[in-house]
Chains A and B, each alone.
Chain A
Amino acid sequence: MNLIKLSDYLWEIPKTGAMRVPGRVYASAKMIEAMREDPALTQVANVACLPGIVGYSLAMPDIHWGYGFPIGGVAAVDAREGVISPGGVGYDINCGVRLARTRLDFSFVEPRIDQLADALFAKIPAGVGSWGAIPGLSIEQLKEVVSQGAHWALRNGYATRRDLEHTEEGGMLAGADPDRISERAYTRGAKQLGTLGSGNHFLEVSRIDEIYDSKLADALGLELGQVTVLIHSGSRGLGHQTCDDYLKVVGGAMARYGINLPDRQLAAVPISSPEGQAYLGAMAGAANFAWCNRQVMMHLAEQAFLDALSIAPRELGFELVYDVCHNIAKFEEHSVNGQMRLVCVHRKGATRAFGPGHPALPDALRPLGQPVLVPGDMGRYSFVLVGLETAMRETFGSSCHGAGRLMSRMKAKKEAGGRDLRAELKALGVTVRAHSRGGIAEEMPHAYKDVAEVVEVMEAARVTRRVARLKPFAVIKG
């Protein structure tokens, strides 16, 4: 892959063939060398072929080989003339991360880590099927969930108004159309509200072990030694099925609109087409399910803390710092060639990172910039960042979303063969509760890049700034 170095942290894939715009990759020289032969870069070029794409097909430093879009890809398309691609959002619609803080210091929790991990593991269903967090919902109730998102949680006692204010889009993406979601999708999601799932999803209890910007940390209510909870999950079976349903619809309709793309998984139709509008209505509904899901899990986590530590809610002080989604397509205004344009930003494994002053941010966070939550692997650390003004000019207000895989799941399992990963993690100070050994093996720390290198690239490029580092000490997995 031909790459032109633009700066120490930015590389360009020149426009060739059917590409409509160049590609741009945020990465250090070391990262670029490692990914030069990776299919992910070809996928950046493929995304650049989408009709209506503006600016650049972007890749964040945690980029890795996905299906259709690379994981870590960002593409903005013109809202009137562009296309919507369900593959550019992914199967796990509104997969995302939320961070809750407590008033507890690590020293208070340290002697009770096992009880806390057990309580969280018992309270929050994870793993295959993982159902039964709250009573099963009827299709009519699920339609309320997909229409209302986290507002459903508020109405049903799983949220506070403050939680909603600290959730991207207020926990409810406009335009959800419950009738565009299939019965099978509802059936798959019926018992899964408030459940973690498996794969790379997790709940992680951490302590803050590094503050990079004390002013910002203070404003976000974060301090050294503080215990926090990071939840990574998405729209579960309801979202997976919705993506699957619309890949078929969109794939079948593409030819009618004269769209030809290099990968079937990139299937796209005009945003204005009936198929495009139907997908957007369904996608917003699945996104709302995900916000409600993470909100319910946060509520369950609070209950687990209260039970395990025998403390009062006031002592615990469980509050949402922020909730971000990293698999989504959203209509936003951005500057393109010096002019403000309404674009549909596909973020596939990338996080919105609006800079300070953006009107989409809640009053309390607007002066700071949007919090960006970047989980690492379970043995090392995760980061809290905030968006900077450069993000608005260069990345359609987007930043990285995680560490990015280094090893395939298969290779990770092979490397883990015969090793006692639970004991190894325990030696690193991390207590793990998981339903499957394979799940731990695939997600072992060395299967991932060092997330510190990823966030350093985004900071060097002035897209996001580090605020705090979270060191996990208890992890719940599927």
Chain B
Amino acid sequence: MPTKPTATQTEDAALFREFEHTGDLGIELEAPTRAELFRRAAIALAALMVETASVAETEQRQVAVEAQADLDLMHDLLTELLALFTVEGFIWRDASVTEAGRSLRVTLRGEPFDPARHAFRGEIKAVTYHQLMVDNSPGGWRSRVIFDV
């Protein structure tokens, strides 16, 4: 599929790219390390839902996931983060990732979502497995995720 940088990104433009998917929303990520790939995915998810430039990093939340394959780690991490937003109403602007074997511990820095201060970009219903990809090539780590919106 054609890949172009999106015109609607803010400061996170370099961290991920949206790509064309007729019905849904897809992103492509590249990063020098595995931990950075997951960090960028976490930031991308927040930025797809909310204009994160207005999010203050006043609170922290932690999310831990474990899976045998990186593909599942990516799916499960983003699904947990989606729940952090939709269930707990927490939105983040930055994240840090600690790797431990097959598990990841992710710390999110942000604040409770406040529709009066935070511009909402769009609802994401779920993280799909469709064409989900996590790949480690000599050039670095890459991933592709399609969200149901």
**Contact residues of A with B, CB < 8 Å?**
38, 40, 64-68, 71, 90-92, 127-129, 184, 187-188, 197-199, 237, 240-241, 243-244, 247, 251, 263-265, 267, 405-411, 413-414, 417, 435-436, 438-439, 442, 478
Asked if B49 CB lies within 8 Å of chain A CBs, one says: yes
B129-A264 in contact (CB<8A): yes
Q: Is the CB of B21 within 8 A of A199?
A: no
Residues of chain A with a CB closer than 8 A to B100's CB: none
What are some 21 contacts across the A-B interface (CB < 8 A)?
A38-B22, A64-B23, A65-B22, A65-B23, A66-B23, A67-B131, A90-B148, A91-B126, A92-B148, A127-B115, A127-B123, A128-B50, A199-B123, A237-B87, A265-B128, A435-B115, A435-B120, A436-B121, A438-B121, A439-B122, A478-B123
Q: How far is the CB of B6 from chain A (nearest CB, A)?
A: 6
B83 contact from A184, A247, A264, Cβ within 8 A: A184
B21–A188 contact, CB under 8 A? Answer: no
Cβ of A127 and Cβ of B23 under 8 Å apart? no
Q: Is B132 an interface residue (CB 8 A)?
A: yes
In this assembly, does B25 line the interface, its C-beta being within 8 Å of a C-beta of chain A? yes
Give A82 Cβ to nearest chain B Cβ, in Å: 21
Residues of A within 8 A of B86 (CB): 129, 188, 237
Task: Using known A-B contacts A66-B23, A92-B125, A127-B120, determine if residue A199 contacts B149 with beta carbons closer than 8 Å.
Answer: yes
When distances are taken between beta carbons in the complex, the residues of chain B under 8 Å from A129 are 86, 89, 113, 115
Assembly CA distance A264 to B130 (angstroms)? 7
Number of A-B contacts (CB under 8 A): 113
Q: Which 4 A-B pairs have the closest CB atoms?
A: A67-B130, A198-B123, A265-B130, A264-B129
User: In the complex, which residues of chain B have a beta carbon less than 8 angstroms from the beta carbon of A237?
Assistant: 86-87
A188: chain B residues within 8 A (beta carbon): 83, 86-87
Q: How far is the CA of A169 from the CA of B103 in the complex (A)?
A: 44
Q: Is the CB of B126 within 8 A of A244?
A: yes
Taking the complex as formed, is B30 at the interface, i.e. its CB lies under 8 A from any CB of chain A?
no
Contacts A64-B22, A198-B122, A409-B149 given; does A128 touch B7 at CB 8 Å: no
B19 at the A/B interface (Cβ < 8 Å)? yes
Min CB–CB distance B114 → chain A (angstroms): 11
Given the interface pairs A436-B120, A439-B122, the reply to whether A413 lies near B8 with Cβ below 8 Å is yes
Residue of A with least CB distance to B149: A199
B23: which A residues are within 8 A, CB to CB? 64-66, 71, 405
How far, in Å, is B134 (CB) from chain A's closest CB?
A: 13
A82 to B20, CA, bound (A): 34
A-side contacts of B149, CB under 8 Å:
199, 409
19 more CB-based (< 8 A) A-B contacts, given A67-B146, A92-B148, A436-B120: A64-B23, A65-B23, A68-B128, A128-B49, A128-B115, A187-B87, A188-B83, A237-B87, A244-B126, A251-B129, A264-B129, A265-B128, A405-B23, A408-B20, A410-B6, A411-B20, A413-B6, A414-B7, A478-B123
A405 CB contacts on chain B under 8 angstroms: 22-23
CB nearest to A64 among chain B residues = B22
In the complex, chain B residues 14-40 whose Cβ is within 8 Å of any chain A Cβ:
18-25
A182 vs B137: C-alpha distance when bound (angstroms):
38
Which residues of chain B come closer than 8 Å to A240, judged between CB atoms? 125-126, 148
Query: Is A91 touching B7 in the complex (CB atoms < 8 A)?
Result: no
The residue from A187, A197, A410 contacting B20, defined by CB atoms under 8 A apart: A410
A197-B123 Cα distance, complex, nearest whole Å: 8
Could you tell me the distance between the alpha carbons of A436 and B49 in the complex, rounded to whole angstroms?
A: 11
Give chain B residues whose Cβ lies under 8 Å from the Cβ of A66: 23-24, 130
Whether B89 contacts A67 by the Cβ 8 Å rule is no
Known: A438-B121, A478-B123. A408 touches B87 (CB 8 A): no
Determine if B128 and A67 form an interchain contact, defined as CB atoms under 8 angstroms apart.
Answer: yes
> CA separation between A417 and B50, bound complex, in Å?
18
Instruction: Tell which of A68, A243, A263, A408 touches B21, judged by Cβ atoms closer than 8 Å.
Output: A408
> Given the interface contacts A128-B113, A188-B87, A240-B148, does A413 sit within 8 Å of B7 by beta carbon?
yes
B65 within 8 A of A: no
Chain A contacts for B123, CB-based, 8 A: 127-128, 197-199, 478
Interchain CB contact (< 8 A) of B87 among A184, A264, A410: A184
* Residues of chain A within 8 A of B148, CB atoms compared: 67, 90-92, 240
Closest chain B residue to A410, Cβ basis: B18
Find out whether the CB atom of B8 lies under 8 angstroms from the CB atom of A438: yes
In the complex, B107 has a CB within 8 A of chain A:
no
B residues within 8 A CB of A38? 22
| Closest residue of B by beta carbon distance from A129 | B89
Measured CA separation A271–B87 after assembly (Å) = 31
Question: For B8, B122, B125, B128, which residue has the most chain A Cβ atoms within 10 angstroms?
Answer: B125
For chain B, residues 103 to 124, give those with C-beta under 8 angstroms from any C-beta of chain A. 113, 115, 119-123
B96 interface residue, CB < 8 Å from A? Answer: no
Chain A residues, CB < 8 A from B129 = 67-68, 247, 251, 263-265, 267
**How distant is the Cα of A371 from the Cα of B136 in the complex, in angstroms?**
52
By a CB distance below 8 angstroms, the chain B residues around A64 are 22-23
The minimal Cβ–Cβ distance linking A473 to chain B, given in whole angstroms, is 25
Taking the closest CB of chain B, its distance from the CB of A427, in whole angstroms, is 24
| B24 partner residues in chain A, CB cutoff 8 A | 66-67, 409
Instruction: Kindly list chain B residues whose C-beta atoms are within 8 Å of the C-beta of A197.
Output: 123
Contact partners of A184 in chain B: CB under 8 A: 83, 87
C-beta contact mask, B47-91 vs A, less than 8 Å → 1, else 0? 001100000000000000000000000000001000100110100
